[in-house]
Amino acid sequence: KAGVTQTPRYLIKTRGQQVTLSCSPISGHRSVSWYQQTPGQGLQFLFEYFSETQRNKGNFPGRFSGRQFSNSRSEMNVSTLELGDSALYLCASFLRGGDNEQFFGPGTRLTVL
């Protein structure tokens, strides 16, 4: 069974630009969560999608948005990038109603210059 895949793995952008990251969950998983990992703040929850609907949201500004497609693949978008958005963005997929065992992808390393 293939694991969670994220593309691209690395990305360099400049301030003010926008970026879209992609996550493909494990086959059969319909829930996808996104997390931001930085050295200072650690891992912080961004949002969760299930059946193309946002089910849970963290405390991030509106510049951070996401969506989920009918095949459960998810994208997250960050508009008007700031230097502080440089981070490792991790997505995780899981079975809703299970033991909340979330399987993480390798992440996308975003650098904002």
Cα dihedral across residues 79, 21, 71, 35: positive or negative = negative
Residue with Cβ nearer another protein (16 or 45)? 45
Nearer to another protein, 18 or 101 (CB): 101
* Site residues for another protein per CB under 8 A: 4, 31, 33, 35, 42-45, 48, 55-56, 58, 90, 92, 96-107
Phi first, then psi, for residue 4 (nearest 5°) are: -75, 130
**What is the pairing mode between strands 108-112 and 10-13?**
parallel
CB of 38 to another protein, least distance (A): 10
Residue 85: DSSP 8-state: G
Closer CB to another protein, 15 or 96, in the complex: 96
